[in-house]
């Protein structure tokens, strides 16, 4: 039995739009997904904003009822046996509030342990273990209001572990953290798995999924478009070469023109400081460079460095989600 089992899960939202002529609009947030997460696995749900990640996590954590399909956590149905699931799971949603800023980290944890009916003797020991785990030991008596975002997010993780859940759901846990804070948090996530927790992590950062997860489901428009190990996903892009050109002020028309070229697979543009990086996936490798340069030059685009490289997991991802990332 898998720790998490999902079969053909759907969730449709009905929103009322318009003030004079009121209509209802249906948003299919999750469109028939199926996957399983093994006991003790660190599983990633990777997709761009609006892909359906949070909606999926909300259904699995019993906060939202599916429109159709089934899901089970630790063998319990998320709808019919929600009360059997709740004490055995922990979750954090990105950008969440729910800590008392005027209290110290330790007092926050004491308060929540009490709220979750954790035995006081057990709580005392667990709080010090958890402070150690999330790297806040030595800072536990400081007020949370003076904490960095990364420290607060690690405290959130400690809070969701107070009742010693077996399965954790972390929805975009590193969102909004600086690189150092994000790295520290990723180390905490690795340590959780070392303690035999099952973790479902959502992220829109490819490299994060690559660095942490044993397997990754790539989700886009509510559907799983690939499910594999990071290595397996990279093979999706193996036949591609990536041409990267530094450009200054490229417009939609030029990008569209490049997309029309028969040898071009996908084109994406990333903002970098004063300039942009134009990323072109092509099956013919460096042979495409002259055509690209000719096209850019013809459109009067100023260029910097040009390079050709092997595909990364991010490239596989861009291909899978069709350049939407
Ligand atoms: N409560 C809601 N009402 C209407 N639409 C919603 C609601 N929650 C999410 N959606 C829509 O469902 C889609 C998936 O959202 P979400 O699961 O939050 O994506 P993600 O977490 O991957 O960014 C989006 O199009 C979003 O606008
Ligand atoms: Mg989300």
Q: Does domain 236-320 have CATH number 3.30.70.260?
A: yes
Q: What is the pLDDT of residue 325?
A: 41
Give 319's DSSP letter: H
Contact by Cβ (8 Å): 203, 219: no
CATH 3.40.50.300 spans which residues of the chain? Answer: 4-233
Our answer on whether the CB atom of 53 is closer than 6 Å to any ligand 1 atom is yes
Q: What is the pLDDT of residue 98?
A: 83
Q: What is the pLDDT of residue 231?
A: 87
Architecture per CATH, domain 4-233, reads as 3-Layer(aba) Sandwich (3.40)
Our answer on whether the CB atom of 55 is closer than 6 Å to any ligand 1 atom is yes
Q: What is the pLDDT of residue 286?
A: 84
Render each residue's pLDDT in the chain as its tens digit; 325 residues.
899 999 999 999 998 888 888 888 899 999 999 999 999 999 999 999 999 999 999 999 999 999 999 999 999 999 999 999 999 999 999 766 789 999 999 999 999 999 989 999 999 999 999 999 999 999 999 999 999 999 999 999 999 999 999 999 999 999 888 889 899 999 999 999 999 999 999 999 888 999 999 999 999 999 999 999 998 888 877 777 889 999 998 989 999 999 999 989 889 898 888 889 999 988 888 889 999 999 999 999 999 999 998 777 777 887 788 754 4
Distance 231 CA to ligand 2 centre (A): 25
Q: What is the pLDDT of residue 59?
A: 98
Residue 75 CB contacts under 8 Å (≥ 6 apart), including other chains:
1
CA-to-CA distance for 92 and 160, rounded, in angstroms? Answer: 7
Number of the ligand 1 atom closest to the C-alpha atom of 48: 22
CATH 3.30.70.260 spans which residues of the chain? Answer: 236-320
Q: Is 131 exposed, middle or buried (0-12, 13-18, 19+ CB in 10 A)?
A: buried
User: What is the residue with the minimal CA distance to atom 25 of ligand 1?
Assistant: 50
The first and second tokens of residue 15, run together, are: 């929103």
User: What is the residue with the minimal CA distance to atom 11 of ligand 1?
Assistant: 29
Our answer on whether the CB atom of 31 is closer than 6 Å to any ligand 1 atom is no
Number of the ligand 1 atom closest to the C-alpha atom of 171: 21
CA-to-CA distance for 276 and 270, rounded, in angstroms? Answer: 6
Pocket test for ligand 1, best of 31, 50, 172, 173 (most atoms within 8 A of CB): 50
Determine the longest span between alpha carbons in the chain, in angstroms: 74
Distance 48 CA to ligand 2 centre (A): 9
Our answer on whether the CB atom of 13 is closer than 6 Å to any ligand 1 atom is yes
Q: What is the pLDDT of residue 220?
A: 95
């Amino acid at each position: 039995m898998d720790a998490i089992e999902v079969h053909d899960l759907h969730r449709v939202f009905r929103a009322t739009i318009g003030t004079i002529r009121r209509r209802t609009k249906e948003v299919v947030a999750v469109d028939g997904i199926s996957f399983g997460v093994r006991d003790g696995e660190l599983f990633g749900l990777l997709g761009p904003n609006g892909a359906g990640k949070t909606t999926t996590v909300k259904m699995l954590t019993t906060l939202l009822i599916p429109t159709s399909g089934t899901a089970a956590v630790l063998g319990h149905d998320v709808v019919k046996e929600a009360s059997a699931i709740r004490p055995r799971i922990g979750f954090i949603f990105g950008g969440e509030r729910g800590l008392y800023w005027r209290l110290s980290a330790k007092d926050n944890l004491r308060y929540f342990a009490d709220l979750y009916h954790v035995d006081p003797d057990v709580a005392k020991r667990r709080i010090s273990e958890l402070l150690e785990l999330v790297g806040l030991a030595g800072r536990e008596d400081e007020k949370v209001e003076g904490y960095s975002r990364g420290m607060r997010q690690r405290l959130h993780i400690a809070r969701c572990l107070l009742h010693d859940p077996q399965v954790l759901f972390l929805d975009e846990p590193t969102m909004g953290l600086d690189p150092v804070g994000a790295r520290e948090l990723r180390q905490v996530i690795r340590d959780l798995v070392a303690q035999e927790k099952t973790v479902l992590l959502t992220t829109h950062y490819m490299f994060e999924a690559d660095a942490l997860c044993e397997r990754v489901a790539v989700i886009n428009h509510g559907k799983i478009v690939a499910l594999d190990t990071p290595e397996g996903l990279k093979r999706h892009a193996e036949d591609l070469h990536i041409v990267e050109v530094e450009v200054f002020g490229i417009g939609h028309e030029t990008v569209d023109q490049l997309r029309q070229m028969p040898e071009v697979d996908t084109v994406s543009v990333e903002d970098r400081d004063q300039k942009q990086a134009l990323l072109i996936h092509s099956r013919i490798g460096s042979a495409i460079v002259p055509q690209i340069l000719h096209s850019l030059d013809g459109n009067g685009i100023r260029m910097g460095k040009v390079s050709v490289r092997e595909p990364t997991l991010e490239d596989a991802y861009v291909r899978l989600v069709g350049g939407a990332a």
